[in-house]
Amino acid sequence: MPKLTIDGIAVEVPPNTTILQAAESVGVEIPRFCYHDRLSIAGNCRMCLVDVEKSPKPVASCAMPVGEGMVVHTKSERANKARGGVMEFLLINHPLDCPICDQAGECDLQDQAMAYGFDRGSFHENKRAVRDKYMGPVVETVMTRCIHCTRCVRFATEVAGVPQLGATGRGEDMEITTYLEGALASELSGNVVDLCPVGALTSKPYAFNARPWELRKTESVDVMDAVGTNVRLDARGRQVMRVLPRVNEDVNEEWLADKSRHAIDGLRYQRLDKPYIRKNGKLTAASWDEAFAAIIAKVKGMNGAKIAAIAGDTVDAEAMIALKDLMTALGSSNLDCRQDGAALDASVRASYLFNSTIAGIEQADAILIVGANPRKEAPVLNARIRKRYLRGGLQVAVIGDAQDLTYKLENLGADASILAKIADGSHPFAATLKAAKKPMIIVGMAALTRTDGAAILAAAKSVADNCGVVKDGWNGFNVLHTAAARVGGLDLGFVPGAGGKDVRGILAGATSGEIEVVYLLGADEIDTAKLGKAFVIYQGHHGDRGAHRADVVLPGAAYTEKDGTYVNTEGRVQRGLRAVFAPGDAREDWTIIRALSEKFGKTLPYDNIAQVRARLAYVNPTFAGVDKVMPAEWKAFGVSGAIAAGGFVYPVQNYYMTDPISRASRTMAQCTEEFVLGGSKQVTGTHG
Amino acid sequence: MSTRALAKEQPASFAFNADYTAQLNRIIAKYPAGRQASAVIPALDLAQRQEGWVTKPAVEEIAKILGMAPIRVLEVATFYTMFNLSPVGKTHVQVCTSLSCWLRGSNDVVKACKEKLGIGMGEVSADGKFSLAELECSGACVNAPVLQIGDDYIEDVDYASTSKLLDALKRGESVKAGSVTGRDGSAPAGDVITLGENPTPPQKQDFTAAKAAFEKAKAEAAAKAAAPKA
């Protein structure tokens, strides 16, 4: 391990560390533009020049490996002078438009110009101007501001796996562009905005909306997919202006998917801001008391077997436990949180978790994906698989439709029964899994929502058992969820109790009249036509499918408007904080159920969120361990049976619209038009 | 030089002809498996030789053949000014206007070209026979100013010789590559002013005497060392 001295601090670092990394390890910050921890080293901005003794010239610290006995000065006069020179060159062509630039206030160039910039330049020619490029509905470009750090190019090529960005021309005429100025077709495209150190790439939906210093920052958890991406909600007044990722090495590193980032404008449209009661076939606004009275009049005293509850995809655990307790009090065991009807077994935790953890993907050397499209269902998780793939030595096979997951894969065919062949060892991929040190299976909702989902789960388990997917210190059996609320619901046992009906049973019962009351807690992804003549209570935040069918609408809070606990697909319990208040009369969801229980005369035993969370931890101790993943015990599960031949129906057909928030979002509608319906009019060149 | 981008009007398709396909395959075979992207510059060159310029379908075809993203091929095509991104005339006349050529009078050469061809920089004549372009330093400064016609350098040109040359080209005659002043490659123009006479060959020397003296001294020293100390 080389020893070196940085600004008088002796430091010993592993070989192949760069000077910049070594400096960071001892808290010495070196300015940089092109260098980024998670991207390859380009070394083209020259801002990180440092003075190394016995070196004739200043050295680019981001690209220079440490050497034994190096003496580095990061703040010497020569280093500062070199950086000042670099800064002057960068500012030659950078426009002086900070007052109208969205990046101002959080701009690396602005910040570093404060430290190294000189108040006048020695270049008296004209500044260059670059035509702006179209990069899709979420990335706004002002290319004159670009300083050619190529972070965006490297991100698109390496992390996102869509090599569409590049630098054309050379010298002063170098321009960053997408191929023929098409939209950047990636679910992670919004991240180039975060990476851009200047205002060349900014967020299109957020353009000219707010300044960073006006925003109130709240730490939260994303609910658009089951990854549980850590986010920061930036709000001004009563509106969430933007969503940014927070660094969490175990979950999202520092990436955020486009839907999670840009669907928030959907929180402004189609909102339920007061209770509604259906009168003469029409929903009419009402007060909370009237809405509760309507429910009591219908439900009180009813046989519990005629009541059912379905929890939706983005519901917090607090609301689910409150509803579960209320349903128990009403004598109903018709509960389900699996509104897609997935054959998930709530009794064995290991059977519904992403057991290897997301960070564990980086250790895997063979992955079998069954009925999942991680690129659409969990883009950030897919980026992790690609990261592992780029390191080499990873074999990926897919049972399912041909799909571009941004890494090389072997398609074993769309027929689900292939899984049974791998389980009995007759398929060649079984040998690959057996030979692998850390094999992994990812079972998706497309597989588990089939009518023979339980058999597929059992087959996946026998693959895991027979091919060494589960061994000492490694559990590679993974279920990839699509809903943020799902694992929380399963952990709470929001599933049919003894003799209770599951989602399919509830809908069939509602159609036949056996079920008379259905309580939809943010459940919109069910076939509402099957609710028949049942009395439907919808509690949620958007006037979407569920609310349209409802007889009573109770306005709840979206994830940005409540303190909520969510369990991600790994089983990681995470908490989001409230960034803004819910609109109008809408309330936090567990408080609504608590208030309703009082009207039933079966008051739930909690009055504040701390008590609800104590109840959560009582029901399932994992809820006590926030931000932790508890390894789940590997037990028997699944019902073996025949797997019918045939393919999968993927749950996420249009990535940009999967839940009420994204369906109400304008930005997501534009993305749908651009990427799903195929091309917008803004595409130039020879398109079409 | 200005921003380089693919021409607006593009042909519908591109395919290498049999000869160039064979040539390209030979070039690709030079690189290790998985590194075929290294052949991108020769591939673009072949495409340009076939079509006269680099077309968008050619960029995409090359990307497909070499397993690259089209943007990666476009980056290379836009980087090198030697790749024409829009159609050029049958005879593509390029004048080097970089420092050495400019000092030696490339402005006159440009003037001659513009007058004789009736077109400006970056333009193609109406009959499609000629096009004129600026060339960044052609690396032949010793023969400045330099004109490039096709693959050939025409060197040591001036206003008069350029005019004569272009007239000949217009008549359909071919021109000879190299210096128009009759100078031998990059050898000095005019008479040799240094190293005029033939150098004398090295003299043969006799080292026998010197070697004998050395051996004698060595023997004496050895004898002295071996003698018993007094």
A523 vs B190, residue with greater confidence: A523
Strands of the A552-555 sheet, one edge to the other: A282-285, A276-279, A552-555, A535-540, A517-521, A307-311, A334-336
Residue-level pLDDT at A296: 96
Give yes or no: residues B108 and B148 share one domain. yes
For A263-275, write each residue's pLDDT tens digit: 999 999 999 999 9
Given an 8 Å threshold on Cβ–Cβ distance, is A171 in contact with B1?
Answer: yes
DSSP B162: H
Question: Please, what's the b/e burial string for A550-575 (b: 16 or more CB within 10 A of its CB; e: otherwise)?
Answer: bbbbbbbbbbbbbbbbbbbbbbbbbb
Nearest CA in chain A to B71: A179
Chain A positions in Cβ-Cβ contact with residue B74 (cut-off 8 Å)? 166, 168, 179
Q: Are A478 and A487 in contact (CB under 8 A)?
A: no
Given an 8 Å threshold on Cβ–Cβ distance, is B69 in contact with A163?
Answer: yes
Residues in chain B, overall count: 230
Nearest CA in chain A to B81: A169
Range from A65-74, A534-543, B107-116, B194-203 carrying the lowest mean pLDDT: B194-203
B72 CA to chain A: closest CA distance, Å?
Answer: 7
Give yes or no: residues B97 and B25 share one domain. no
Q: Are A668 and A394 in contact (CB under 8 A)?
A: no
Chain B positions in Cβ-Cβ contact with residue A177 (cut-off 8 Å)? 71
A339 CA to chain B: closest CA distance, Å?
Answer: 41
Residue B2 has pLDDT above 70, yes or no: no
Q: Is B62 part of a structural domain of the chain? A: yes
User: For residue A4, how far is the Cα from the chain centroid?
Assistant: 40
Of B58, B79, B100, the one marking the end of a domain is B79
A168 CA to chain B: closest CA distance, Å?
Answer: 5
3-state secondary structure of A164: coil
Q: Cα A72–A76–A82 angle (5° rounding)?
A: 100
Q: Which residues partner with A366 through β-bridges?
A: A395, A439
Of all residues in chain A, the percent with pLDDT exceeding 90 is 94
How far apart (Å, rounded) are the C-alpha atoms in residues A526 and A397? 31
Give yes or no: residues B130 and B71 share one domain. no
Give yes or no: residues B71 and B124 share one domain. no
Q: Per-residue confidence at B229, pLDDT binned at 50, 70, 90?
A: low
Cβ neighbors of A282 (< 8 A, separation 6 or more) are none
Give yes or no: residues B148 and B96 share one domain. yes
Residue-level pLDDT at B4: 84
Q: Are A13 and A2 in contact (CB under 8 A)?
A: yes
Residue-level pLDDT at A537: 97
Q: Per-residue confidence at B230, pLDDT binned at 50, 70, 90?
A: low
How far apart (Å, rounded) are the C-alpha atoms in residues B207 and B213? 10
Chain A positions in Cβ-Cβ contact with residue B71 (cut-off 8 Å)? 163-166, 177-179
Given an 8 Å threshold on Cβ–Cβ distance, is A180 in contact with B78?
Answer: no
Give yes or no: residues B66 and B101 share one domain. no
How far apart (Å, rounded) are the C-alpha atoms in residues A291 and A274? 10
Q: Is B127 part of a structural domain of the chain? A: yes
Residue-level pLDDT at A605: 95
- Write the burial class of residue A207 (CB in 10 Å: 0-12 exposed, 13-18 middle, 19+ buried): exposed
How far apart (Å, rounded) are the C-alpha atoms in residues A6 and A52? 9
Q: Is B1 part of a structural domain of the chain? A: no
Cβ neighbors of A86 (< 8 A, separation 6 or more) are A45, A46, A47, A49, A116
Mutate to test the interface with A, among B1, B2, B3 (most CBs of A within 10 A): B3
Q: Is A169 on the interface with B (CB under 8 A)?
A: yes
A210 vs B186, residue with greater confidence: A210
Residue-level pLDDT at A172: 87
B68 CA to chain A: closest CA distance, Å?
Answer: 9
Q: Is A123 on the interface with B (CB under 8 A)?
A: no
CB-nearest partner of B3 from A169, A178, A686: A169
Residue-level pLDDT at A687: 44
Tokens of A620: 């399932």
Give yes or no: residues B151 and B113 share one domain. yes
Chain A positions in Cβ-Cβ contact with residue B72 (cut-off 8 Å)? 163, 166
Termini Cα distance of chain A:
57
User: What average pLDDT does the segment A247-251 reach?
Assistant: 96
CB-nearest partner of B70 from A170, A173, A179: A179
Q: Which of A19, A26, A109, A93 is nearest to A58 (CA)?
A: A19
Mutate to test the interface with A, among B13, B55, B56, B71 (most CBs of A within 10 A): B71
Nearest CA in chain A to B85: A169
For A583-618, write each residue's pLDDT tens digit: 999 999 999 999 999 999 999 999 999 999 999 999
Domain CATH code at residue B98: 3.40.30.10
Q: Which of A175, A353, A159 is nearest to A256 (CA)?
A: A159
Residue-level pLDDT at B130: 94
Q: Is B50 part of a structural domain of the chain? A: yes
Return the percent helix, strand and coil in chain A, to nearest 5. Answer: 35, 20, 50
User: What average pLDDT does the segment A302-324 reach?
Assistant: 96
Residue-level pLDDT at A679: 61
For A557-584, write each residue's pLDDT tens digit: 999 999 999 999 999 999 999 999 999 9
Domain that holds residue B50: 18-79
Give yes or no: residues B107 and B175 share one domain. yes
Residue A682 has pLDDT above 80, yes or no: no
Question: Please, what's the b/e burial string for A400-409 (b: 16 or more CB within 10 A of its CB; e: otherwise)?
Answer: beebebbbeb
Q: Is A280 on the interface with B (CB under 8 A)?
A: no
Given an 8 Å threshold on Cβ–Cβ distance, is B75 in contact with A168?
Answer: yes
How far apart (Å, rounded) are the C-alpha atoms in residues A675 and A678? 5
How far apart (Å, rounded) are the C-alpha atoms in residues A262 and A139? 11
For B132-171, write each residue's pLDDT tens digit: 999 889 899 999 999 999 899 999 999 999 999 999 999 9
Q: Is B12 on the interface with A (CB under 8 A)?
A: no
Q: Is B125 on the interface with A (CB under 8 A)?
A: no
Q: Is B191 part of a structural domain of the chain? A: no
Give yes or no: residues B107 and B31 share one domain. no
Q: Is B86 on the interface with A (CB under 8 A)?
A: no
Residue B81 has pLDDT above 90, yes or no: no
Q: Is B86 part of a structural domain of the chain? A: no
Given an 8 Å threshold on Cβ–Cβ distance, is B79 in contact with A168?
Answer: yes
Average pLDDT of chain B to the nearest whole number? 91
Give yes or no: residues B159 and B118 share one domain. yes
Average pLDDT of chain A to the nearest whole number? 94
Give yes or no: residues B72 and B99 share one domain. no
Residue ranges of B 50-69 with Cβ closer than 8 A to chain A: 56, 69
Given an 8 Å threshold on Cβ–Cβ distance, is A168 in contact with B74?
Answer: yes
Give yes or no: residues B110 and B169 share one domain. yes
Give the number of domains in chain B.
2
Q: Is B34 part of a structural domain of the chain? A: yes
A180 CA to chain B: closest CA distance, Å?
Answer: 8
Orientation of helix B56-66 relative to helix B18-29, angle to 10° = 40
For B192-221, write each residue's pLDDT tens digit: 777 777 777 778 888 888 999 999 999 999
Chain A positions in Cβ-Cβ contact with residue B6 (cut-off 8 Å)? 180, 685
B59 CA to chain A: closest CA distance, Å?
Answer: 11
How far apart (Å, rounded) are the C-alpha atoms in residues A329 and A138? 47
Q: Is B24 part of a structural domain of the chain? A: yes
Chain B positions in Cβ-Cβ contact with residue A130 (cut-off 8 Å)? 3
For B16-42, write each residue's pLDDT tens digit: 999 999 999 999 999 999 999 999 999
Residue A205 has pLDDT above 80, yes or no: yes
Q: Is A170 on the interface with B (CB under 8 A)?
A: yes
Q: Is B205 on the interface with A (CB under 8 A)?
A: no
Given an 8 Å threshold on Cβ–Cβ distance, is A166 in contact with B4?
Answer: no
CB-nearest partner of A164 from B2, B4, B71: B71
Residue-level pLDDT at B1: 47
Given an 8 Å threshold on Cβ–Cβ distance, is B3 in contact with A173?
Answer: yes
How far apart (Å, rounded) are the C-alpha atoms in residues B180 and B168? 13
3-state secondary structure of A587: coil
DSSP A252: T
Domain CATH code at residue B42: 1.10.10.1590
Report chain A's C-alpha Rg in angstroms.
27
